[in-house]
Structure 1
Amino acid sequence: MTVVHSAPRFASNEGVKDALSAALGAMLVDAHEEHGEILLTVKRDSIEDALRLLRDEHEYQQLMEIAGVDYPQRAERFEVVYMLLSVTRNHRVMLKVTASERTPVPTVTTLWPNAGWLEREVFDLYGVLFEGNTDLRRILTDYGFEGHPFRKDFPLTGYQELRYSEEEKRVVYEPVDLPQDLRQFDFMSPWEGADYVLPGDEKAATPPVSDPKTTGKPSQTGAGAKADEEAADKVSAGAPAEDDSEIDETAPEPTEDREDRSEREGKARDTKAATEPKEKGE
């Protein structure tokens, strides 16, 4: 059975950027296509109006994701990226706004209910504030967690660690105490190797490949006249297989000679009659 759907199997970006740019007008800051996707940068205060316009007039019905990005070197270090999906046209588009630690972004929970969870995630991991979100709590980190772990300046080890205490019979929080220093790796290729001497390699003394070890002398290989003489001796000398005498192939005499028994009466199923021999003269 063939199912006909209005959404195309493969959606094209042709003309989408120009159409959406004209529709957004003054709300738009930049529009370009990158990696096969349309990316629109809008003003922070206009993000709710821009998303409503795309939802109601351009058929981008679903808010698929809200993600955060951190650029510490910028004045407004954070970017909040909104990913929209048009179910009827099978097309995706991304919008983004910039923000700092103290400039909140308008919430879009008025447009999509699932934005509440997504905004909480960005707040938890990056510290971006969303104005109008009435339930802006942490959602991934633990209670009492300090800092935002996805920021580039957040230490990889964190500030606290937790463990179960047998003395107190509960989970306790303690400052991070590493048994060894944090190791940094240069992600070198295992085929190319490092340009420097790794610890321990200075102890290795390998023979040069150009001078292979050979065993060319008889004393090293075990070859010689003595070895040839030992190889010529037959190990199976004197065995029957080595004897050239003729073999008697006649059959041997039977070892037993028993007298013929008299025939029995009856059949096998007639047990008594079958086991009784016939009398002479019968």
Structure 2
Amino acid sequence: MATHEGLTARLGELLGSSLVEVINHVDETTVVVQRDALVAVITALRDAPDLMLNQLIDICAADYPDRAERFEVVVHLLSMALNLRLRVKCSTDGAAPVPTLTGVYPNAGWYERETWDCYGVMFAGNPDMRRILTDYGFEGHPFRKDFPLTGHVELRWSEEHKRVVYEPVKLAQEFRSFDFLSPWEGTDYMLPGDEKAAGK
């Protein structure tokens, strides 16, 4: 299984009909699976003696508003014994909940709370779905691509007033461009400040 082909074949054998796709890109393997089979898939990957993916590194999400199932939930697993990393993805439209992984990895609870707080993706069975990063009275989910940049209130410490203050959020809309280009390739448009570099 030292090759990507060997790992792909093993994942196909282990996951069966739960597997949608295996992607090998820049020496990283990503497995796309059926949402409803996520717990069974993660359990199988953890318990397989030839994979030993027994550490949950992270759960996060990505928002693709043009897709019918706009949210990709991404689970990162690690095998310290085999020096193996694996990314597992499933999709949801935001209304259909993703099954919780807290029964497989107890630390999943915090990551799922963060994903719900930032993206609005619910995790069915998570015993503590509360906000974790935003303020208690916060409305909406700030990492969604359609989240408005103005019209909300932020909570911050004011050194001037020596207390916590609430202020309206005002951010420039011209920076809100999602071209999905690699940062190494650069953008097709000028950002403020780029003109300084062009003059050198």
TM-score (norm 1): 0.58
CA–CA separation in structure 2 for the residues paired with 1:52 and 1:28: 14
Of the three residues 116, 126, 133, the one matched with 2:126 is 133
CA contact (8 A) 2:36 2:98 kept: yes
CA–CA separation in structure 1 for the residues paired with 2:110 and 2:151: 24
TM-superposed CA distance for 1:192, in Å, is 2.7
Amino acid in structure 1 at the alignment position of 2:11 = L
TM-superposed CA distance for 1:138, in Å, is 0.6
TM-superposed CA distance for 1:87, in Å, is 1.5
CA contact (8 A) 2:61 2:71 kept: yes
TM-superposed CA distance for 1:84, in Å, is 0.6
Distance 1:101 1:14, change over 3 A: closer
TM-superposed CA distance for 1:162, in Å, is 3.8
Amino acid in structure 1 at the alignment position of 2:104 = L
The answer to which structure has the higher strand fraction is 2
TM-superposed CA distance for 1:154, in Å, is 1.2
Aligned match of 2:187: none
Amino acid in structure 1 at the alignment position of 2:70 = R
CA–CA separation in structure 1 for the residues paired with 2:148 and 2:167: 16
TM-superposed CA distance for 1:174, in Å, is 4.7
Of the three residues 71, 74, 77, the one matched with 2:67 is 74
Aligned match of 1:143: 136
Deviation string for 1:183-227 (max 9, x for gaps)?
73632363335xxxxxxxxxxxxxxxxxxxxxxxxxxxxxxxxxx
CA contact (8 A) 2:31 2:89 kept: yes
CA–CA separation in structure 2 for the residues paired with 1:111 and 1:49: 9
**Partner SS for 2:196:** coil
Aligned match of 2:172: 182
Deviation string for 1:91-129 (max 9, x for gaps)?
101110001121000001000110000100100110000
Higher relative contact order (CA 8 A, sep 6+): 2
TM-score (norm 2): 0.80
Of the three residues 82, 104, 108, the one matched with 1:111 is 104
Amino acid in structure 1 at the alignment position of 2:21 = D
* Aligned residue pairs, count: 178
Distance 1:118 1:22, change over 3 A: same
CA–CA separation in structure 1 for the residues paired with 2:55 and 2:157: 43
Deviation string for 1:242-279 (max 9, x for gaps)?
xxxxxxxxxxxxxxxxxxxxxxxxxxxxxxxxxxxxxx
CA–CA separation in structure 1 for the residues paired with 2:156 and 2:54: 45
Runs of 5+ consecutive residues of structure 1 not aligned to the other structure: 1-10, 194-282
Deviation string for 1:50-73 (max 9, x for gaps)?
000000013111111111100011
Of the three residues 42, 50, 65, the one matched with 2:33 is 42
CA–CA separation in structure 2 for the residues paired with 1:88 and 1:191: 47
TM-superposed CA distance for 1:173, in Å, is 3.3
CA–CA separation in structure 1 for the residues paired with 2:111 and 2:156: 30
CA–CA separation in structure 2 for the residues paired with 1:59 and 1:70: 30
Higher-Rg structure is 1
CA–CA separation in structure 2 for the residues paired with 1:113 and 1:79: 21
